[in-house]
Amino acid sequence: MIKLIRPEIERAAAKIYKFGRKLGQGSFGVVYEATHIETQTKWAIKEVCRPAAGSSKVQLLGHEINILKQVNHAHIIQLKEIYETAKMIYLVTELCVGGELKQLLRRKKFFTEDEARHIICSLADAVVYLHKRDIVHRDLKLENILVKNSPDEDDNGRINIKVTDFGLSVQTGGVGIENIMTETCGTLIYMAPEMMSGRGYSQWCDVWSIGVVMYMLLCGEPPFVSKTKSNLLKEIMNKEVRFTQTIWATVSDAAKNLLTCLLKVDPAYRISANQLLENPWITGDTDVPAIPSNVLEMMRHHLEQQESKTMTKAYPNGN
């Protein structure tokens, strides 16, 4: 077995945790499985080299720790404790043995609507919780959604997810214009158009990312694809979501309608995470229209109707 314990952690945690296999590696550090010796419970330990003072990584790591300390939600990774030494920082979090949702999707190719519904409902619930606390994740993607257990071990085969990696997250002062964000960050295929526009963005960027995740769960591919970064930017900024793959013929109209509401280029017309939780595709209420009401969308529709009536009056014979 690879020797994992370093001198710094020997003094802090070696008597408390027994280190096991490597689970993954991100931009910040390496994650290992660990067993709490006294209770024999299993946890994950993220081993991070302490960033140099004044570096951008200091701020990102600070954001992650600060946010994880204050959140407590069934679908957000739980931070148990932190060990800090002169050279290293160790974050002890709950263990998700199912790995990244991206890995599970790669194995399955795509999810059924019922499977996707459960995942998106859990994800939306976590985002509603964050947004109520003025926390914007800004990097929601399949890699940052962990699977708590192996799906076949879970209740009725349902996939229990946990949102993780809050390094790019920010806590704003609310939704007012003074709290508009301008920094472009995240992963391009999941990034909302307004994040690239330079005109500023708000928490609605997370809703777009949920839409991309949902699209990928249902068909296995991103909604916008291009061979170059510049063309991909154009696709995201200018194209409406399309359902061209053959698999979409087997997906319900309710799911496709919801995706068009999540992937609206203009965030003013995009539904909120709260509205997503109330959507009939999520709730299973077939008596409710599949497309949720949006004030701006309704106003636009009303204006178009009024304009049509005016034109009919002005040119009754169509001339």
Q: Annotation-wise, does 148 bind a ligand?
A: no
152 is annotated as an active-site residue: no
Task: For residue 272, give both structure tokens.
Answer: 């909120």
Q: List the catalytic residue out of 114, 125, 134, 139.
A: 139
Distances, alpha carbon 92 to alpha carbons 32, 40, 98, 210, 267, in Å: 10, 14, 17, 27, 36
Q: Active-site residue numbers? A: 139
Binding residues for ATP: 46
Binding residues: 46
